Amino acid sequence: MGYVLTIVFCFPLFYLFCILLNFLEKRRHQNCYILDYQLYKPSDDRKLSTEFSGDIIKRNTNLGLNEYKFLLKAIVSSGIGEETYAPKMMFEGREENPTHDDAINEMEEIFINSIGKLLERTGVQPDSIDVLVVNVSMLTCMPSLSARIVNRYKMRHDVKTYNLSGMGCSASLISINLVQSIFKSKRNQLAMVVTSECLTPNWYSGNDRSMILSNCLFRSGGCAMILTNKPSLVHRSMFKLKVLVRTHHGSKDEAYGCCLQTEDAQGRVGFHLGKTLPKTATRAFVDNLKEIAPKILPLRELLRFAALSFARKTLQNVFGKSFYATRPMINFKTGIDHFCLHTGGKAVIDAVAQSLNLSQFDIEPARMTLHRFGNTSASSLWYVLGYMETKKRLKKGDKLFMISFGAGFKCNSCLWEVVRDLEGEGNVWKDCNIESYPPLTLENPFMAKYGWLHDVDDISTLNIQE
């Protein structure tokens, strides 16, 4: 009788124990890790020197004197240096009439270089990949870019492929969010994410200032990475995804229209960057921070901020709005060790730094990436990450905050935990004389060579075709 009672009482406990084990095992397989990643670095003959950039600008016969002066000012203040890269057709003088093959070749060059090196370094076989996500915003082709990768590397017939386009500079975090969702429903998966942008068919040859600005900012680049939820590969992984938040303001007309691929008055297609972009980006940024802050910051910091905000509001109600005018700020450094910022431009980096109260040390990786590689769209974040890694800043247990902006208008952010100490092995920054960064000055040499444009009053005096 006692034996039966023991079984009766223990069975529910055993059942609950099994449920708990199953829950923990399921949670263990739902984690998302970056196993490794590979950045793309074109050959040195693709570097945009000051002289060659000037030649490209002068080849555009649609520009007037005011446009030349505008471009000079934009390039000098952009934060971009002389060692960024451009597609081959720029060096062949065909930027105004590229072919479809030019665009495909640009993409395949990135794929072959980054994916090939990544597979070799990790030892992962192409037929081991379960999920493939490719994000390239401004090129859609048939068959898709993901299909081209599957064909080249002879991946399995049941590999799940996703091809994202039109998602803007924040697309890489969207791709990771997609992989994260798949990991929640499937165990022991290997996913490859390829993030890049196609510049070849998107050079703007008109004279609309809101469109020629993109010619100054965007450069060639790309990144391939392998993510996994296999518990057996955790010890080899580099980063663990903790939180990912996406904010989309596309329902607001002002936000929707501030970054837009469209035609100018002459029918030339270009990428319009509107004057409302800074305000739109700020709103999306603030909304994103409101959602992610409670998920990544310690409770003591949230309580401190809430107490100061309440005290300020109370005092203002008593003494008037002019009293205690300075708003309290959340100290994000209480829960974050490193900041990986989108290199949308010098103004973008400075604005985010001011909003988060970051030091020059905090924004150095973003500023150096912009200077060395330019804005490589969705892959920019990973060049910033590569800089941190090669500088040996990333230690086990550190928290890394990524934030990016994109057309739509979108603001996406996430928090990674560093799984092991990283030394930057196999990183393209190793080939960039990393010891020389940061340089003593980021002054762009365009002013030294083309500053005389400010003193010109008549375009007829310029030897545009020299």
Quick count: other Cβ atoms within 10 Å of Cβ 434? 17
Confidence band, pLDDT 50/70/90 cuts, at residue 465:
very low
Helix (H, G, I), strand (E, B) or coil at 143: coil
Is 259 an annotated catalytic residue? no
163, 202, 342, 444: the catalytic one is: 342
pLDDT tens-place string over residues 11-30:
565 555 555 545 455 555 67
Quick count: other Cβ atoms within 10 Å of Cβ 93? 11
User: How confident is the model at residue 464, as a pLDDT?
Assistant: 44
Give, in degrees to the nearest 5, the angle at Cα 194 between 248 and 165: 45
Is 272 an annotated catalytic residue? no
Give the H or E element holding residue 24.
helix 2-29
pLDDT for residue 9 is more than 80: no
Is 157 an annotated catalytic residue? no
Judging by beta carbons within 10 Å of its beta carbon (0-12, 13-18, 19+), is residue 258 exposed, middle or buried? buried
Kindly state the DSSP code that residue 328 receives in the 8-state scheme: P
User: How confident is the model at residue 27, as a pLDDT?
Assistant: 55
Phi, psi angles (nearest 5°) of residue 131:
-135, 135
31, 60, 207, 338: the catalytic one is: 338
pLDDT tens-place string over residues 310-359:
887 887 777 777 666 677 788 999 999 999 999 988 888 998 998 899 99
* C-alpha span between 137 and 134 (Å, rounded): 10
* C-alpha span between 388 and 268 (Å, rounded): 40
User: How confident is the model at residue 276, as a pLDDT?
Assistant: 85
Q: What is the mean pLDDT of the chain?
A: 87
31, 113, 169, 249: the catalytic one is: 169
Count the residues in the chain. Answer: 466
pLDDT tens-place string over residues 420-431:
999 887 789 988
What pTM did the predictor assign? 0.90
Higher pLDDT, 312 or 403: 403
Contact between residue 156 and residue 197 where contact means Cβ atoms under 8 Å apart: no
pLDDT tens-place string over residues 219-243:
999 999 999 999 999 999 999 999 9
371, 411, 412, 444: the catalytic one is: 371
pLDDT for residue 449 is more than 80: no
User: How confident is the model at residue 466, as a pLDDT?
Assistant: 39
Per the omega criterion (within 30 degrees of 0), is the bond before 91 cis? no
* C-alpha span between 270 and 260 (Å, rounded): 8
375, 412, 427, 444: the catalytic one is: 375
Q: Which of 91-100, 117-126, 173-182 has the lowest mean pLDDT?
A: 91-100
Q: Which of 82-86, 405-409, 440-444 has the lowest mean pLDDT?
A: 440-444
User: How confident is the model at residue 55, as a pLDDT?
Assistant: 82
User: How confident is the model at residue 2, as a pLDDT?
Assistant: 64
pLDDT tens-place string over residues 189-204:
999 999 999 999 988 8
Is 169 an annotated catalytic residue? yes
User: How confident is the model at residue 21, as a pLDDT?
Assistant: 47
